[in-house]
């Protein structure tokens, strides 16, 4: 008889996570915490747009039906929040950034993603191509909840999860690297969890 149930481990921590999949300083959890710097915006599908401005200043946009018409991928990935929780084997469905970038002649070197509510985050273009980033609209086979970024969020699992902008509505590509919201408050500009790049200078 065991009195040690999951509840006694606290905050959904899992002791059975393979250590090689948990980056330094992180713990694995079964929970899916919500971390938002402001209120959850309610974005209707009618008004939903994803706007891309390339490094030549050309703009293009996709509305919700156009997003759904793009080839979708379902990926199972591990996510790592800078507040030290990691969640293994999360399943997401969405459109690879490669698809949005396919016709872009000049992507520049850096991307600044924007969200409803004003959140921004910056990444090198090299980190959003080749199947590393998605505009995700389903989580575990269900419509993505507003609290977790629905209708659609950026998903960049190989970097700390603050780079995965919730309620994403656009990306600006350029040859300038402009810090986003957390990056300008002292978080690391790149944010590789495996190198524990939490804060500027790490």
Ligand X SMILES: Nc1nc2c(c(=O)[nH]1)N[C@H]1C(S)=C(S)[C@@H](COP(=O)(O)O)O[C@H]1N2
- For residue 33, what are its two tokens? 């915490």
From the CB of 161, what's the least distance to Mo ion, in Å? 5
Residues 117-146 that bind ligand X (CB under 6 A): 117, 119
From the CB of 165, what's the least distance to ligand X, in Å? 5
Query: Which of Mo ion, ligand X, none sits in contact with 64, Cβ below 5 to 8 A by type?
Result: none
By CB under 6 A, is residue 37 in contact with ligand X?
yes
| 108/173 Cα distance (integer angstroms) | 6
- Binding-site residue total for ligand X (CB under 6 A)? 17
**Sole window of 17-25, 47-55, 96-104, 111-119 interacting with ligand X (rule: CB under 6 A):** 111-119
Residues 6+ positions from 151 with CB-CB distance below 8 Å: 43, 45, 48, 64, 137, 143, 144, 167
- Would you give the DSSP letter of residue 23? -
Strands 168-174 and 49-53, sheet pairing: parallel
- Element housing 8 (H / E): helix 6-9
By CB under 5 A, is residue 104 in contact with Mo ion?
no
Site of interaction with ligand X (CB under 6 A): 33-37, 81, 115, 117, 119, 148-149, 161-162, 164-167
Residues near Mo ion, by CB under 5 A: 35, 81-82, 162
């Amino acid at each position: 008889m065991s009195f040690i149930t999951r509840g006694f481990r606290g905050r959904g921590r899992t002791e059975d996570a393979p250590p090689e999949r948990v980056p330094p300083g992180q713990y694995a959890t079964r929970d899916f915490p919500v971390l938002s710097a402001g209120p959850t915006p309610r974005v209707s599908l009618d008004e939903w747009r994803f706007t891309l401005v390339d490094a030549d200043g050309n703009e293009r946009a996709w509305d919700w039906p156009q997003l759904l018409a793009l080839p979708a991928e379902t990926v199972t990935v591990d996510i790592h929040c800078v507040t030290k929780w990691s969640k293994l084997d999360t399943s997401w469905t969405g459109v690879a950034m490669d698809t949005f970038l396919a016709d872009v002649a000049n992507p520049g070197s850096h991307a600044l993603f924007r969200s409803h509510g004003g959140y921004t985050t910056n990444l090198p273009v090299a980190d959003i191509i080749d199947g590393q980033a998605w505009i995700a609209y389903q989580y575990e086979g269900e419509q993505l909840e507003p609290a977790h970024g629905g209708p659609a969020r950026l998903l960049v699992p190989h970097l700390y999860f603050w780079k995965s902008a919730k309620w994403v509505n656009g990306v600006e590509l350029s040859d300038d690297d402009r810090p986003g919201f957390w990056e300008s408050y002292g978080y690391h500009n790149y944010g590789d969890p495996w190198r524990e790049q939490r804060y500027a200078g790490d």
